[in-house]
Structure 1
Amino acid sequence: MPIPLDAKRAQLATLFDGACLRGVARLGDMKPALGDDVLLHAGPPLDGRVLSQPIRNAAIHALVYAGKHVDAAADAIDTGAVRLVPAQDHGVVTPLAQVVSSAMPVWRVGDDRHEVLAPIAESVPPALRFGSADAVCVRHLHEQADWAFDQLGARLAATPLAVRDWIDASLQAGDECHARTGEANAQLLAALGDLPAAYGETIAANANFVLPMLMAASAWAMQANGGSIAAVGGNGAVFGVRFAGERHWRTCAATAPIGPRLPGCEDVPVIGAVGDSPVIDFCGLGGQALGFVPALSQAWDALLPADWPERAAAVTDDIGLVCRHRIAASGRSPLVHLAMVSAARAGGLAGRGFYEPDVSLFQSARTTVT
């Protein structure tokens, strides 16, 4: 039986006890063993699959940010001169189609024992996380990186910010911290205090600025609370999970999220489920916290499965984490809130909705589904 919302909110916030935004750093400084010829992508390994256009765009931008000319970057991607590997296998989470190079800035989230890293969400669309081909994405990231290092590096190192507070306030305000992140972003901005006006305005205008921090905190919480699932996400072609204590990913074909399209994008083809942000939903937020967000459940009412109000209780353990054993026993899939990324050459955001992973992923005997 679902527990009352107030009790559920307290339970979910407790999962994040100890998780703090601790600083900003260059990925290569935090993970020197990766090397400059490695790029990090969302979800399970691509395994030689042809890159979707949005991920190819993002990979090129990642190398351009590192100093390559766009043509040289494209050639390095197409010839295999750089390797694309799963971000979560290296303690990093990245949103949607965004690809991370060693030169790029990352947020540090966690505690003294363990940190998870996540890239900066540099702007509203067009943006790297939506696989946009627009060169303005790189310019915006340079701008945001300069501000983050200048204004936040020393401040966060001296006074880390507790993520739990943002999550509790978000749930109270009717945000589930994935499809709706406005309250968490406002809480972050208030906690940061005085900032240059232009910097504060860019953060306020981009409700997803806080999203990678929430992702990193969720990946941290999955480990800190001894969850049965260590990693989860999609690469646009396949969706996968990695169980705690295992090194291999279990995968299935990634279908596109279901949900309303943006005006003018009704017929735009989109790639399959993509991004590491499902870690948020697997910490009891996002699709498992839909009961906190009547505005969202009402907007999606005609599309949601009829049993959605019971899904969270069926798939989460006693502390609120999505549990592979509960999924296998119930035969129900957790709901994952995801944006739709256009498969067109220019990439971009096409809509927002939800995705249901294949239940077979969570059955012990199944390793890979293709």
Structure 2
Amino acid sequence: MPLTQPLRHARYRRLWLANMVSNLGTWIQAFASAWLVASLSGSAAITSLVQTATYVPVFLFALLAGVVADGVHRPKFLFYCNLYMALCAATMAVLVGAGWAASGPVLVLTFAIGIGTAFIWPAWQAAMASLVDPSEVEAAATLNNLSYNLSAIVGPALGGMLFGWIGPGALFLANALSFAGLLGVYWAWWREGGPQQPAREGFAERFRCGLRTAFGCARYRRILRNVCWVFFSTIAFASLLPVFVREVLRMQSNTYGTLMGCLGGGAVLAACFLPQVRARVDKTGLLAAALTVYGAMLLTMSFSRSLVLLVPLIVCGGMAWSATVSTLNAAAQLSFPAEVRARTLSIYLFVMSGGYAAGSVVWGQVAERWGVRAALGAAGACVLANAVVLATGSRKNPI
């Protein structure tokens, strides 16, 4: 199946394009927040809290968000969630522009935006899966990942170039404006009418049904175990890269933006050949191979200071990351029917964000005590251990 086949659906195509613009703003803000906190604090532990503040709200609210998303009119719900996030980003721009650029306010508003993300993700993933044919879900997951990673190339690069020129406040404002396209698409979808999605059960029953459905499936439990360990280990890269650039490479924001963009560039390259690889390799084998490459990237980073080595290394890591995320995401989306999809996906997001939040704290503390290199090396070893477990049990316990 061609990778672009899901784009034949007009509504999916419009959402995909608008979401890519929004992702660009998200990456610009992610860059600006991390580099600003790293510059203000000079601490690996505090810098890693940017990732913690991003993912703890998802951990706290994902299960609630999944239950809500299966009982509301999704376009209307997604419109208000995106409007809330745009207002949070605009508030951050105003505070920084007013001279209140401190780690505390940045982390608090990052947490507030994370709450919006927590409520958007289950509804958005369930909505996107419903806009394409079941046979196109895996291609749609790869396209969504491609959109995210195209933005991951441009966003950090723009942030690196503009941070010292126009300042972080303007970058936060750019993120606020990037929601305009999504708001327009969701508004039009909402105003078209269509049936409201009635909640046929009470809130508590829908919540229990989601838990029973997800944890009652042995295959889904395996997916969740892998998600927890994978995201716990791999968050070390995003959490520690600002400190790695400042303390190990002794370089500035443009280098940080370049290396972030390299990961996204690798993910974009991966989209060109992943459909062909998936036709020949089972999901579990592909995931094990991708984790091996990503773990090797983290281990090698712990020994290297050369940009000549780091740039192609992180590009390879980005290719592996794209394969990892799209494989796990598609497996989760295809596990259950549409009626319970948002609830079961919310459990996936709950586990993922828990891994992210815990990993960002743990690797930040490891870096604070034993250094950034040691933390990256230990995280790489964890990723490789997960790859070995997957490879040895792939036939008996496929995902």
Normalised by the size of structure 1, how large is the TM-score? 0.30
State the structure with more CA Rg.
2
Select the structure that is richer in helix: 2
**Greater RCO, CA 8 A, separation 6+:** 2
The TM-score with structure 2 as length reference comes to 0.29
Q: Which has the higher strand share?
A: 1
